[in-house]
Structures are given as structure tokens and as C-alpha cells.
Amino acid sequence: MDARERLIVGLDVPTIGEAERLVSTLGDDILFYKIGYQLVFAGGLEFARDLAASGKKIFLDMKLLDIDNTVASGVENIAKMGMSMLTLHAYPKAMKAAVEAAKGSGLCLLGVTVLTSMDAEDLAEAGYQYDPQALVARRAAQARAAGMGGIVCSAEESAAVSEIVGPDMAIVTPGIRPTGAEKGDQKRVMTPKDALKAGSTHLVVARPIVKAPEPREAARAILNEMVAALWPANR
């Protein structure tokens, strides 16, 4: 697999104009983009359709969670948009409903385990009895049982998750920070090289590229680090 198939750039910008300029700047170096709440509520759904129609892969990061029928209805419509990946919170009933709705579409459904901005103290405050690692493992097993296409987790948990889900499910990890980059509001982070070696299959990178003085050079540096990790014999 081309490293460009594994790097997902988060279009975490406030306007469609800024997103368009970033996509233009990154050019053919980037094939895969994540669109989340910020851009969705600024007209991002139509933009996502347009990007997909142009040949880009789109990870729609909606983190769906609702009653089964509502989740299924949403997934059916998202599948028709030409999206490549879609997130939902890894609750068993929601995942089962989504899998049934996505059958035959090619849409890869990703179960969000524990947000990378949360640590053990945050989970305890929210009422969970598990630490992040235990909750990630539990939800990964439930996602596999439900027939999901992949998992979203911290790169710190990707090795343990890969043991649970096996080689056929995607392990998508946000919170990726090149060496020396600021963590921001992320609490469980890892470098691109270390994340891939730990078992991540796809890396989501936003601020280190989007906020870089030269976004294309920043993206190329990350791609080069990924190539060195994936195919060291070719370096």
C-alpha cells in the first residue's frame, strides 16, 4: 500500500475556502482527507462529496451515536455520498445497526474507542470503571464481533488492539505528532514512525500539517518518515 493511502490529513479549518486552499497546496501528495464537525457545519458535506468525486478518499469523522434506526438511516445516506471511512462511537448496538446499513457499500466503518484527548482521570470523571487501555480493548473486541471495518484508538493502544482485531481491520490513530511538535490538547500521542511500528494502519494528522508554515513540506516529511518505517529496506 502506498504511504499516501495511509496518511489522512485532517481538514480542521473553519471555512471551505481555507480547506480548498489547503487541498490545492498539498496537491497529489495527499490522497486522503478527514472532515469533521468544524468543516461539516460550514458546508463540509457538499465539499466532501466534491472531493470524493475528484478522486480523493474521505474519512467523515461524525462519531455517530443514537438509537439503532437513526444510526442506520444516517449510515445509508453517508454510504451513498462516496465516503471511504465513517466513525461512530463503539457502542455494540450502534455498531451492529451501522454494519447492517452499510452492507455492500464499500464504506469502512470505524469504531471510536476512547478519544485521544482523554486519560484515566477523564474517564473516571465521566463515570467509566475502566482505564483507557481496558476500555479500548473491550470496545475493540466488540467492534470485531459487530463486523466493523476498523477501530480508532491512540497509537499507544494500537499494538494491543492489533492483537484483538487481527490483520483485516483498519487501526486508525489520531494524536500523531512528529518529533518536536506540540501536543496541543492531545494526551496520548506518538510519532508517525512509532505508530506504524506499533501496529497502526492509518495515521490522522491535522495541526502539524495544517498549521505548518509550509504544509506541503510538512506532509512530505511525514510521508518520508512513514516510508522509512514501512519499507526500511528501500531507504
Tens of pLDDT, residue by residue over 27-76, are 999 999 999 999 999 999 999 999 999 999 999 999 999 999 999 999 99
Q: Is 116 annotated as a binding residue?
A: yes
Give me the active site residues, please: 63
The sign of the torsion formed by the CA atoms of 133, 114, 85, 223 equals negative
Specify the 3-state DSSP secondary structure of 183.
coil
Q: What is the pTM of this model?
A: 0.90
pLDDT above 80: residue 134: yes
Q: Which domains does the chain have, with CATH numbers?
A: 3-234 (3.20.20.70)
Asked if 128 contacts 135 with a C-beta cutoff of 8 angstroms, the reply is yes
Q: Is 186 annotated as a binding residue?
A: yes
pLDDT above 90: residue 178: no
* pLDDT score, position 116: 73
Q: What pLDDT, in 10s, does the model give residues 83-100?
A: 999 999 999 999 999 999
Asked if 97 contacts 69 with a C-beta cutoff of 8 angstroms, the reply is yes
Q: What pLDDT, in 10s, does the model give residues 180-225?
A: 556 555 455 688 999 999 999 999 999 999 999 999 999 999 999 9
Nearest to 93 by CA among 138, 145, 134, 150: 145
> Mean of the per-residue pLDDT values for the chain?
91
* pLDDT score, position 181: 58
Q: Is 4 annotated as a binding residue?
A: no
- Percent of the chain exceeding pLDDT 70 equals 93
C-alpha distances (whole Å) from 58 to each of 66, 87, 149 are 22, 12, 15
